[in-house]
Chains A and B, each alone.
Chain A
Amino acid sequence: MQASRARLFKEYKEVQREKVADPDIQLVCDDSNIFKWTALIKGPSETPFEGGVFQLAFAVPEQYPLQPPQVRFLTKIFHPNVHFKTGEICLDILKNAWSPAWTLQSVCRAIIALMAHPEPDSPLNCDSGNLLRSGDLRGYYSMARMYTKLAAMPKKG
């Protein structure tokens, strides 16, 4: 418990320092609980998520950093590796490939990379995965774009 707190505090300081370095990620710690974080990440360019801003919620376990944080999308997203309802993310580093060498910040970067490079063979969103697996890029793009417009972009008047 104490170890995870100390580590998170270091990450907090690091985030303050790196803020300018990575304009695509805005990682914020809950005011009253250092085990709760949220992040705003920008959808990567040349993907259907471009122009969208996606919110992630982090729940950090007490055994952190030996155990990975739980991360999910709060913003609706149509992506093969994100559960459409719960926002749960299927990403190896959040499961068995986790190591303390990762940080909350680098997890955000990994999620951005996942948005740009979906893994349709291990889908949490089968509809999305099936579109890609059947080669229907246009269908995938359209759906993903639609949800980006609807959920991750400011509403137009």
Chain B
Amino acid sequence: MDHAQLGEHFLFLDPSQNVAGTRCGRWSVAVIFQPLSSEEVARHRCCAAGKSKRRCAPILGSLERGLGKSQGVNGFLHSHQTGLRNFLMSQKGRDYVLGICDFSLEWRVSHSTSNSIPDPVTTRRCSLPKTMQNQDGVQVDGEVESATSVPTPEFDEWANFGDQDIMQQHSAIRAEEAEKIPFLGDKEPLSSLAAEYQSGSAILLEKIKVLGEQYAAIRRTRGDGNCFFRSFMFSYLEHILESQDQSEVDRIKANVEQCRKTLQSLGYADFTFEDFFALFLEQLDSVLQGNEASISHDELILRSRDQSVSDYVVMFFRFVTSGEIRKRAEFFEPFILGLTNATVEQFCKSSVEPMGEESDHVHITALSDALGVPIRVVYLDRSSCDTGGVSVNHHDFVPAGSDLPNASGGSEKVSPFITLLYRPGHYDILYPK
């Protein structure tokens, strides 16, 4: 056989993939772009001898049409079923229509599958060249037939269904759900929580009663994966608005500057995060009274319900959280490994930075540490204590380094001014009595 030329295509049975003891192997079409040595050609049992001189150009149009139509079915290529005579494919252990140009093509095996070829005009059955006949003798079995069934038209419809459409549908569903609950709800008495569980678990109702001794009200947030950050945002800004604590504002601003430096040192380009930082600092300034940009409590609620403000602040927190986790990667790594199987960096990229990714212990710890804000999380779940009595657990996230001398035992001293209610999968804001 001649030296293979550029642009030739070959049908070959890959000897390394031949399934021992069967007629089957994996067939492929190769289009040659680098001339192969004749040994290599022989090794692949190229059998296009004499007919392989054709350039591939004439078949490209039909290849393309075939590819466009085909949507692998059961893992097989079915391009041939569009009726193109020249098409490929290979699948371990299966016989396929293979064909190029004058080869026409075949069902190498089976005499019985001819009616599954949709277009008898363009698909001509013919024998493969001798050398391509399988080496183990032809045996026909039913399996082959089923493997080469004709795809139904529905696959064509699926082919027109892109990710873009799916995403659009997702966001439409989200928008519809969003109508029902604002980013931030109104302050409700705790009894509204009890009403929710009226016919539910007795343990929960008991716990809500216990909660009622310490807490007066709840403010709900939308359950869209950003609820922790939105709760934290409003709760913190509301605290500043009510306390007018200038020293706390100065302190957190210093921490925010630190976070900015952290992100810079981690290689984030300034312009990717600066807008989010600026918007948060703007909110911070506006809740302090006495300057022309000052806002009222009602205005704060309105802003917290405004998507562009709320989302930008959430994103600010996500950047801060991600930066803190990556800065102290060796500290967070064991916790992250416990949650997922990802590296710290993968975790930040996939579970911290994207909007809508839910927050876990790791996120809260990191945010609390980075901003130096203690957070109390009250857990409302169905667990009950051994003693039989019901108590409501809470956990205080105390920023690392906030009381250095006795960091281990001294957490009692810090009393968080942010209290969140955690029910599995969701955070709301709690108001103490």
**Contact surface of A with B, Cβ cutoff 8 Å:** 3, 6-7, 10-11, 14, 65-66, 70, 78, 83-86, 88, 90, 92, 95-103, 123-127, 129-131, 133-136, 138-139, 142-143, 145-146, 149-150
**B33 interfacial by beta-carbon distance below 8 Å:** yes
Does the CB pair B56–A146 fall under 8 Å?
yes
Of B33, B91, B159, B163, most buried by chain A (CB within 10 Å of CB) is: B163
In the complex, which residues 13-69 of chain B have their Cβ closer than 8 Å to any Cβ of chain A?
Answer: 14, 17, 26, 28-33, 56, 60, 67-68
**B164 interfacial by beta-carbon distance below 8 Å:** yes
**Assembled-state Cα–Cα distance A129/B67 (Å):** 12
**B273 interfacial by beta-carbon distance below 8 Å:** yes
> How many residues of chain B have a CB within 8 Å of chain A?
50
Does the CB pair B26–A85 fall under 8 Å?
no
Does the CB pair A138–B67 fall under 8 Å?
no
Does the CB pair A84–B67 fall under 8 Å?
yes
Q: Contacts A14-B269, A142-B29, A146-B33 given; indicate if A130 touches B75 (C-beta within 8 A).
A: yes
Distance in angstroms from A12 CB to nearest chain B CB is 10
Does the CB pair B354–A139 fall under 8 Å?
no
Q: Which of A90, A92, A127 contacts B79 (CB 8 A)?
A: A127
**B257 interfacial by beta-carbon distance below 8 Å:** no
**Assembled-state Cα–Cα distance A98/B272 (Å):** 13
**Assembled-state Cα–Cα distance A70/B275 (Å):** 22
**Assembled-state Cα–Cα distance A122/B264 (Å):** 34
Does the CB pair A96–B88 fall under 8 Å?
no
Task: Provide 23 A-B residue pairs closer than 8 Å at the C-beta atoms, listed in order of the A residue.
Answer: A66-B311, A66-B312, A90-B163, A95-B167, A98-B354, A99-B355, A124-B162, A126-B71, A126-B77, A129-B72, A131-B90, A134-B26, A134-B75, A134-B90, A134-B91, A135-B92, A138-B28, A142-B29, A142-B30, A145-B31, A146-B33, A146-B56, A146-B60
> For residue B350, which residues in chain A have a CB less than 8 angstroms away from its CB?
92, 97
With contacts A136-B90, A139-B28 known, what are 11 further pairs, Cβ within 8 A?
A: A6-B275, A78-B67, A85-B68, A88-B162, A99-B315, A99-B353, A103-B269, A127-B67, A135-B92, A139-B88, A142-B29
> For residue B162, which residues in chain A have a CB less than 8 angstroms away from its CB?
83, 86, 88, 124
User: Which A-chain residue is minimally distant from B91 (CB atoms)?
Assistant: A134
**B70 interfacial by beta-carbon distance below 8 Å:** yes
**Assembled-state Cα–Cα distance A138/B269 (Å):** 40
Q: Contacts A83-B162, A85-B68, A145-B33 given; indicate if A97 touches B349 (C-beta within 8 A).
A: yes
User: Which B-chain residue is minimally distant from A124 (CB atoms)?
Assistant: B163
**Assembled-state Cα–Cα distance A14/B272 (Å):** 11
Q: Which of B56, B92, B273 contacts A100 (CB 8 A)?
A: B273
Distance in angstroms from A32 CB to nearest chain B CB is 23
**B319 interfacial by beta-carbon distance below 8 Å:** yes
> For residue A126, which residues in chain B have a CB less than 8 angstroms away from its CB?
70-72, 77
Does the CB pair B70–A96 fall under 8 Å?
no
**Assembled-state Cα–Cα distance A97/B29 (Å):** 37
> For residue B32, which residues in chain A have a CB less than 8 angstroms away from its CB?
142
Does the CB pair A139–B30 fall under 8 Å?
yes
Q: Contacts A84-B67, A126-B72 given; indicate if A96 touches B356 (C-beta within 8 A).
A: yes
**B198 interfacial by beta-carbon distance below 8 Å:** no
Does the CB pair A101–B163 fall under 8 Å?
no
**B276 interfacial by beta-carbon distance below 8 Å:** yes
> For residue B72, which residues in chain A have a CB less than 8 angstroms away from its CB?
123, 126-127, 129-130
Does the CB pair B77–A101 fall under 8 Å?
no
Q: Mark B88-128, 1 if CB is under 8 A from A, else 0.
A: 11111000000000000000000000000000000000000
Q: Contacts A98-B354, A130-B76, A146-B33 given; indicate if A88 touches B268 (C-beta within 8 A).
A: no
Q: Contacts A99-B354, A103-B269, A103-B272 given; indicate if A70 touches B26 (C-beta within 8 A).
A: no
Does the CB pair A101–B273 fall under 8 Å?
yes
User: Which B-chain residue is minimally distant from A10 (CB atoms)?
Assistant: B271
**Assembled-state Cα–Cα distance A64/B91 (Å):** 43
**Assembled-state Cα–Cα distance A86/B76 (Å):** 22
In the complex, which residues 269-298 of chain B have their Cβ closer than 8 Å to any Cβ of chain A?
Answer: 269, 271-273, 275-276
> For residue B135, which residues in chain A have a CB less than 8 angstroms away from its CB?
none
Q: Contacts A88-B164, A97-B349 given; indicate if A149 touches B33 (C-beta within 8 A).
A: yes
